[in-house]
Structure 1
Amino acid sequence: MDPLDDSTVNQRLDGVPQWRREGDEIRRTVEARDFPTAIRIVDEIAVEAEKLNHHPDIDIRWRTLHLALTTHDAGGLTELDFTLAARIDGIAASHA
């Protein structure tokens, strides 16, 4: 899978407005209502990540999740990152 050019990355970010670009990654923070809910969100993300064989970096701080996506094998951002970002958005919204 080839990395996306800057123009395409910027267009794709419009579809996942809670994500921001930092270099070759996109990042988002999710605030859960409590720690058990945060862990349930991580569990659901793990299921989707396995389906796509694409795994985010996740930092858990009590009820705050910091997520980062990039496609290491491609050396940058690919469609896979934006596909998983959209699925994570759906998971986060279902727990809001």
Structure 2
Amino acid sequence: MQASPEFRKQLEGYGLTTAEILYRLPDHPALLQSYIWQDYDVFPEFPVLKKFLGFWETSLEGPLFKVTVGHQKLIRPAELKAIGAEFRLH
């Protein structure tokens, strides 16, 4: 059994990146349209997102207006909290 490519990326330091891309409509430049993009990427360089935005600017007609990015690592160290008591059950 092999791990999925997505899980391997997470082990390599990739996290889930979500970007809201606002762009102008080519026929109506006063209107903005929203596009949600999501993929695994590396913080803070975001090479996958930059590649996608480069493709957007060279291949699509809607000029970019604003890109808002959110990122979260899905695999991270466990959070442990110390407690002040210990209870034993027989």
Q: Is TM more than 0.5 here?
A: no
Find the structure with the greater CA-based Rg.
2
More helix by share: 1
More strand by share: 2
TM-score by length of 2: 0.33
